[in-house]
Amino acid sequence: MTPPPPATAVADMAQSSPAFQDSKINRDILNPTRYVSLPWLGLLLLAVLGVGQAVFSLGYQTYVGLGVAGYQAPVFWAVYIITFVFWIGIGHAGTLISAILFLFRAKWRNAINRGAEAMTVFAVLTAALFPLIHIGRLWKFYFLIPYPNQRGLWVNFKSPLLWDVFAINTYMTISIVFFYVGLIPDIAVARDRSTGLKRVIYAILCLGWQGTSGQWKAHTRTVLHLSGLATPLVLSVHSVVSWDFAMSIIPGWHATIFAPYFVAGAIFGGFAMVLTVMIPSRRIFGLEAYITDYHFENMSRFILFTSWIVGYAYGMEYFIAWYSGVEAEQTSFFLRAFGPYWVSTWIMISANCIFPQLLWFKKLRTHVPTLFVLSVIINIGMWFERYVIIITSTSRDFIPGAWGLYIPSPVELSILAGSFCWFAMFFLLFIKFFPIIAITEVKELAIHEKYGGAH
């Protein structure tokens, strides 16, 4: 049997025949991790500052009380929940690309799925903060967890909010697992090409990956199963989020269309966010060879398609409100379009239904600057979609005598801004230390192209 291998120290593992030439793919993709670029440093600094100011605002809010936010009865949910739904939605595109497209064997995903998965993880990490920021007694957040306590109290499993707790945590865990499993072989690649502390860390993270047949077999199988699990999960998670609203009785919320409507909206907004983050990173790290306009075009197709689903949902909400014959519903939707919040409503409609129609033209689908601007517009539109759903519905509900208005407060806006910085911070750190493109998957394709073979 195999004799025990000689003690090869970490440092020696880099040894190889002098004739060896590392592959271009490795060099290109690992390139960003080799040096610190100034724009990257600047962005990171900004992000960290942004997070800092948000933490201060949160401290102030927690100390003084939620009153520093703009809540005005009957609007008891506002920016925090809006932003929560927004980020959860962002996350979905990543899972869709990495899991669903994987199951459909859409090979074009390979170049973008790593970035998309990273985006998912960080978006969910951002979203998960907001329920805590939102609650009135942050220091009692653990009441939401069913843990044995001497009060003998358990949580209410009938509450959509508790479904949220489970859905979000499951989603966060599975996304991270999925993300990490995909990373293992690539970290091994990075390990073999780095020295010193970096190498030690990589060595630990890649769990001694060597790409043996057994490892690959288990790995492919694991990715397959995780995709199989993640696909229904991603659909369920945003359905559950949508049920926070659909399960309640408020006109404008109490609608059965919400689950599919929210899922579609999530994918729509998520793809836009993928574009928003990938276009600059591709530019900064010169990865044009791997992330091509072809990928962007495919994503724009998705965006165009989902924008129609979302548009259909908008229309259907109004139709049902009219068709139901319920005055409260009709009023709620009439005032949504022509009431005090008409501006946000029309921002939502134009950004999510009208602008995306530009993508009918191939010229624009392949014109990167246009795509970038459009993706930003869509992100704004999707944030306003949640704003409209939450604020307009609650501010005009069943008791006209209790109707009111809501205006966001500076504290809320600062925390909103902070959430974007928080997300950006993670993403920037990620692209600095990990391959932003799935090396092995790209390689798999490359080798197949080079030598042909099965598949």
Partner 1 sequence: MPTLLSVFDRPQDVAAVVTKLKGRGFNDLETYSPAPFEEIEDAVDPRPSPVRLFTLIGGLAGVVTGFAMQIWMSLDWPLKIAGKPYASIPPYVIIGFELTILFGGLLTLVGLLFVGRLYPRFRLDPAYSMRFSAEEFGIVVTCKDRDVSEVDALMRSNSAKEVSLVDA
Partner 2 sequence: MPDLDRRDFLKLVGLGAGTATAAGCSDPIEKLVPYVVQPEEITPGIATVYASTCRECEAACGLHVSTREGRPIKLEGNPEHPINRGRLCARGQVGIGRTYHPDRYEGPRADGQATTWDDAEARLLAAVQANPGGTWVLGASRGPTIDGIIDAVVAGGGLGGRVVYQPFDGSALRAATEAVFGVAATPQFDLSGADLVLDFDSGFLDTGLSPVENAAQFAAARDIARHPDGGARLVTIGPRLTMTGSNAESWIPAAAGSEGALALALARAVASKRGVVDAALDAAIAKAPALSAAATAADVDLASLEQLVDAIAHAHAVVALPPNPAAAGTNAVAANAAVLLLNAVAGSVGSGVKIPRGPDPRAAAPYAEVQALVDAMNAGQVSVLIVHDANPQYSLPSASGFSAALEKVGLVASLASLVDETSVEAALVLPDHTPLESWGDAEPRAGVRSLVQPTIRPLHDTRAIGDVFLVLGRGLGVSVPSGTTRDIVAANWGGGASFRAALVRGGSFSESSAGHASVETGAAGAIGAASQFSGSGDYTLIAYPHSYLGDGSGAALPWMQEIPDPVTKLSWRSWAEISKTTAERLGVKFGDVVRIDTGNGAIEAPVYPRGGIRDDAVAVAIGQGHTVGHYASMAGDGSPGVARGANVAALLPAATDEGGGRAWLATRASLTKSGAFQRVALSQWFDNQRGRGLARQVSLLALAGGHDDDHEGPHVIEQPFERANDAAPGDPYRWGLTIDNDRCTGCSACIAACYVENNVPIVGETNAIKHREMNWIRIERYIGDGDTEGGEERRPHPDREVLGGEVDVRFAAMLCQHCGSAPCESVCPVIATYHTPDGLNAMIYNRCVGTRYCANNCVYKVRRFNYFDYGYDNWPGLLSLMLNPDVTVRGQGVMEKCSFCVQRIQLARQPAKDEGRDIRDGEIVTACQQSCPTDAITFGNTRDAKAAVNTRVDERRSYYSLHMLNTRPGITYLAQVKRVSEESHS
CA-based nearest residue to 416, from 93, 69, 146 = 69
- Helices 342-349 and 368-387: angle between axes, nearest 10 degrees: 140
Build a one-symbol-per-residue string for 201-230: x at contacts with partner 1 by CB under 8 A, - elsewhere. Answer: --xxx-xxxxxxxxxxxxxxxx--xx--xx
Minimum distance, C-beta of residue 81 to partner 2, in the bound complex (Å): 9
18: number of CA atoms within 13 Å, CB side? 0
Which of 131/418 has CB closer to partner 2? Answer: 131
Task: Judge residue 108's burial from the number of C-beta atoms within 10 Å of its C-beta, 0-12 exposed, 13-18 middle, 19 or more buried.
Answer: middle
- Shorter beta-carbon distance to partner 2: residue 204 or 407: 407
Decide if residue 214 touches partner 2 (CB under 8 A): no
In this structure, how many other beta carbons lie within 10 angstroms of the beta carbon of residue 402?
10
- Whether the Cβ atoms of residue 419 and residue 130 lie closer than 8 Å to each other: yes
Cis upstream peptide for 74 (omega within 30°): yes
Q: Does 454 bind partner 1 (CB under 8 A)?
A: yes
The piece of 133-141, 217-225, 297-305, 316-324 that touches partner 2 (CB under 8 A) is: 133-141
Nearer to partner 1, 162 or 413 (CB): 162
- Positions 368 through 397 that interact with partner 2 (CB under 8 A): 394, 396-397
| Site residues (CB under 8 A) for partner 2, limited to 246-265 | 247-250
Distance (Å, rounded) from C-alpha 74 to C-alpha 54? 26
Query: Long-range contact list for 192-198, CB < 8 A, 24+ apart?
Result: 192/13, 192/14, 193/14, 193/22, 193/26, 193/30, 194/33, 195/11, 195/14
CA distance 410 to 68: 8
Name every residue whose Cβ is closer than 8 Å to that of residue 420 and which is 6 or more positions away in sequence: 50
Binding mask 306-345 for partner 2 (x = CB under 8 A): ---------------------xx-xx---x--xxx-----
Between 337 and 353, name the residue whose CB sits nearer to partner 2. Answer: 337
- Closest CB to partner 1 among residues 4, 325: 4
Indicate the residue among 247 and 304 with the shorter CB distance to partner 2: 247
Residue 149 Cβ vs partner 2, minimum distance, rounded to whole Å: 10
Secondary structure class of 143 (helix, strand, coil):
helix
Q: Is 8 in the site for partner 1 (CB under 8 A)?
A: yes
**Nearest CB to partner 1, comparing residues 144 and 405:** 144
Q: Which of partner 2, partner 1, none binds 124 (CB below 5-8 Å, type-dependent)?
A: none
Residue number, 102 or 262, with CB nearest to partner 2: 262
Assess 398 for contact with partner 2 (CB under 8 A).
yes
CA distance 381 to 123: 17
Residues 391-450 touching partner 1, rule: CB under 8 A, are 440-441, 443-444, 446-447
Letters for 20-49 (x = contact with partner 1 by CB under 8 A, - = none) are xxxx-xx-----------------------
Candidates 29, 233, 371, 397; binder of partner 1 (CB under 8 A) is: 233
Q: Does 188 sit near partner 1 (CB under 8 A)?
A: yes
Q: Does 403 bind partner 2 (CB under 8 A)?
A: yes
Tell me which of partner 2, partner 1, none is bound by residue 138, counting a contact when its beta carbon lies within the kind-specific cut-off of 5 to 8 angstroms: partner 2
232-236's contacts with Cβ under 8 Å and 24+ in sequence apart are 233/95, 233/170, 233/171, 233/174, 234/92, 234/95, 234/96, 234/99, 234/100, 234/171, 234/263, 235/263, 236/167
- In the three-class reduction of DSSP (H, G, I as helix; E, B as strand; rest coil), residue 69 is classed as coil
In one-letter notation, the amino acid at residue 262 is F
Q: Given the rule CB under 8 A, which residues bind partner 2?
A: 58-59, 62-67, 70-74, 76-77, 131-132, 134-144, 153-156, 158-162, 165, 244, 247-250, 327-328, 330-331, 335, 338-340, 394, 396-405
